[in-house]
Amino acid sequence: MNQTQEQARLVADGRMGQFLTLIQAELQVTERVLMRQTAMKKVTEIHAGQFSWKLTVEQAGYDELLKSSMRSRRRSRASSALK
C-alpha cells in the first residue's frame, strides 16, 4: 500500500488523529530536507563569496604589480632618453 492509499484508509476508518500524525511526520522530514538544502546553499554562497573576494584581492594585487611595472618601464625609458 502506498502512502496516499494509507492516508486515505486512515481518513476512511475515522482515524483522523493518525492521519494528521502521519502528515506531520512527513512535513517534519520535508522541513529537515529543506533546511539541509538551504544550509548547503548558504555554505555554497559563502564559499562562492570567499572565492570571489579572493579573486578580487588577487586581481587588485596583480593590477598593482602591473602599474608598478609600467611605472618602472616609463622611468627606465625616460632615463634612457635623457642619456
pLDDT mean across residues, the chain: 75
pTM over 0.75: no
Residue 75 — pLDDT band, cuts 50, 70, 90?
A: confident
pLDDT surpassing 80 at residue 65: no
pLDDT at residue 49, rounded to an integer:
64
To the nearest 10°, report the CA torsion of 43, 49, 52, 58. Answer: -100
Distance (Å) of CA 47 to CA 17, 35, 37, 38? 45, 18, 15, 14
